[in-house]
Amino acid sequence: MKVGLIGLGIMGKPMAKNMLKAGYDLTVSDLNKASVEEVCAAGAKTASNEEIGKTCDVVLTMLPNSPHVKAVMLGENGVANYMQNGAVFIDMSSINPVASKEVAAALAEKGVEMLDAPVSGGEPKAVDGTLSFMVGGKQEIFDKYKSLLETMGASVVRCGEVGAGNTTKLANQIIVACNIQAVAEAFTLAQKAGVDPELVFQAIKGGLAGSTVMNAKGPMMLEGNDKPGFKIDLHIKDLNNALDCAHTVGAPVPMTAEVQEILQWLHNNDCGSNDHSAIAKYYEHLTGIKIGR
């Protein structure tokens, strides 16, 4: 099986390396030449998007948002123009599920099947190959390519037809964002009340309030570590998609709207490239304290 991957960012690069470790014949493309060279040094080949479309059995993308996926796949020189009948496209980007359905419909006219397969877990889980995949598409296509996705993820679950993967990812991103906000708010309360938030974290992490999110992001808040595993600007993008989707289907999402306003404030105050745990900085701005420090 010849695999093509377009997009070697924070997530795509380690995901490419895990496919190589699993022995896949991988060809990559990205505008960042340094990333391409690094992945090629690990065993990949590089080619133009056109060549990837012509030569690969399955094409994967890991791109920032809907417009990027549409441009790469359906643009004037889009990859879809060169894919063979029977080839498969797997989009691992986190985009609006409406856009996923539009791309799938355009590809179907060319005889190309599609899975939308966004991931959760951030850079650490991309590196160690334990991402969670939320997949939409036909059962038989999912079954055929599940093992490929399992080289990058510990959990690969089909959630329904095309678009279901990204709908599930939006639900995931709502829960993650609101959870991070709750952790920052709780730690701020503790510190303002004179209780060490580190001890609060140790006391509650094994109880009902404990979560994967708190275990990953709580220590970053306490250390003041803003190195991005997942950037605030990317979470803003995801929540914009969540709000757009919610408005389209008539779902009430007041908590999502509130945390989106906090993230937008952080973007406007030069924190867009920080990890999303930097929601803590919003509370630090309001209170004048630094959580845990």
The answer to whether the CB of 121 falls within 8 A of the CB of 130 is: yes
In the residue annotation, 169 being an active-site residue is answered as yes
Domain 167-287 falls under CATH 2.40.50.140: no
Q: Where are the domains of the chain?
A: 2-160, 167-287
Share of the chain above pLDDT 70, in %: 100
pLDDT for the residue numbered 252: 98
Q: What is the mean pLDDT of residues 252-268?
A: 98
Would the CATH topology of 2-160 be identical to that of 167-287?
no
The pLDDT tens digits of the residues spanning 27-75 come to 999 999 999 999 999 999 999 999 999 999 999 999 999 999 999 999 9
pLDDT recorded at residue 183: 98
The whole-number pLDDT of residue 282 equals 98
Spatial separation of the C-alpha atoms in residues 107 and 80, rounded to whole Å: 7
Mean pLDDT computed over 251-268: 98
What pLDDT, on a 0 to 100 scale, did the predictor assign at position 68? Answer: 96
Stretch 101-105: mean pLDDT: 97
Q: What are phi and psi of 13, to 5 degrees?
A: -65, -55
* Nearest-angstrom CA–CA distance, 75 and 67: 10
Lookup: tokens for 190? 């503790």
Residue 224: C-alpha distances to residues 62, 148, 177, 218, 269 (Å) = 29, 37, 18, 10, 17
Of the residues 13, 101, 125, 169, only one is catalytic, namely 169
Q: Identify the band that residue 229 occupies on the pLDDT scale cut at 50, 70 and 90.
A: confident
Pairing of strands 119-120, 131-136: antiparallel
CATH number of 2-160: 3.40.50.720
Per-residue model confidence (pLDDT) at position 122 = 85
% the chain with pLDDT above 90:
95
Mean pLDDT of the chain: 96
> What pLDDT shows up at residue 235?
95
Position 80 pLDDT exceeds 90 = yes
- Position 121 scores a pLDDT of 87
DSSP string of 222-291, one letter each residue: HHT----SSBHHHHHHHHHHHHHHHHHHT---HHHHHHHHHHHHHHHTT-TTSBGGGHHHHHHHHHS--T
pLDDT at 144: 98
Average pLDDT over residues 258-265: 98
Tens digit of pLDDT for each residue in 116-175?
999 998 888 999 999 999 999 999 999 999 999 999 999 999 999 999 999 999 999 999
